[in-house]
């Protein structure tokens, strides 16, 4: 048997349902978190939501709104999938925590996983209550053809800034989810 196949067999022999589910939860929550860190730090979002950067790079507000709409349409399915799969993985893992000599460790891992489940779900109601009205208004503007009126342009700029600020909070919630998932994997 080659060294590689031996290493793979050894790794797979140590996979338990708890480890698999916790790893899946970490993976799904990291997908959302790191994708948005990239988008928020050096991606499209700061460029289109910041009036000074739009001006510096000659991005008309109409184009910025349509770029946001494009980004939103591409990201939404991934957001919903990662939130659902991370929360389901962490919740299922909480029922598969191995019993260890110190029962407090098992209890703590279950608690941390259930809190991670809550944080994985939390961005969904947050999005519905805090971002959906802004999303709807931006989508309505993006659907408008031609140039915006002065009022529409002003409103669009405010909406993009509001969306970006609230989206940072949502990204932070997923950072907490990811940290809790990693913590739970270190407890047991």
Tokens of 46: 């700061």
Mean pLDDT of the chain: 92
125 pLDDT exceeds 90? yes
Neighbour tally for 25: CB within 10 Å: 31
**Mean of pLDDT values over 34-40:** 93
9 pLDDT exceeds 90? no
Tokens of 137: 């208004």
Q: Are 47 and 59 contacting, i.e. CB atoms less than 8 angstroms apart?
A: yes
What is the 3 state secondary structure string of the chain?
Answer: CCHHHHHHHHHHHCCCHHHHHHHHHHHHHHHHHHHHHHHHHCCHHHHHHCHHHHHHCCCCHHHHHHHHHHHHHHHHHHHHHHHHHHHHHHHHHHCCCCCCCCHHHHHHHHHHHHHHHHHHHCHHHHHHHHHHHHHHHHHHHHHCCCCCCHHHHHHHHHHHHHHHHHHHHHHHHHHHHHHHHHHHHHHC
pLDDT at 72: 94
Instruction: Name which of 2-6, 64-68, 81-85 the model is least confident about.
Output: 2-6
Tokens of 14: 């140590």
**Mean of pLDDT values over 163-185:** 95
Expressed as residue numbers, the domain containing 131 is: 3-187
101 pLDDT exceeds 70? no
The vertex-115 CA angle with 22 and 95, nearest 5°, equals: 50
Confidence of residue 15 (pLDDT cuts 50, 70, 90): confident
How many domains in the chain? 1
| 149-164 pLDDT, tens digit each | 999 999 999 999 999 9
pTM listed for this prediction: 0.86
Among candidates 27, 20, 21, 18, which has minimal Cα distance to 178? 27
Tokens of 155: 């409103």
């Amino acid at each position: 048997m080659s060294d590689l196949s031996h290493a793979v067999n050894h790794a797979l022999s140590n996979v338990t349902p708890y480890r698999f589910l916790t790893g899946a939860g970490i993976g799904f929550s990291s997908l959302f978190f790191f994708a948005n860190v990239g988008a928020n730090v050096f991606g499209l979002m700061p460029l289109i939501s910041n009036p000074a950067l739009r001006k510096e790079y000659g991005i008309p507000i109409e184009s910025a709104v349509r770029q946001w709409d494009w980004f939103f349409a591409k990201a939404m399915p991934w957001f919903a999938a990662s939130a659902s799969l991370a929360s389901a993985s962490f919740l299922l893992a909480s029922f598969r925590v191995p019993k260890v000599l110190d029962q407090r460790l098992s209890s703590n891992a279950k608690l941390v996983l259930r809190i991670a489940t809550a944080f994985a779900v939390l961005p969904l109601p947050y999005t519905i209550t805090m971002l959906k009205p802004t999303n709807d208004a931006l989508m309505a503007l993006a659907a408008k053809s031609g140039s915006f009126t002065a009022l529409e342009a002003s409103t669009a700029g405010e909406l993009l800034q509001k969306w970006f600020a609230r989206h940072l909070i949502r990204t932070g919630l997923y950072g907490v989810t990811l940290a809790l998932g990693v913590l739970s994997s270190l407890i047991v």
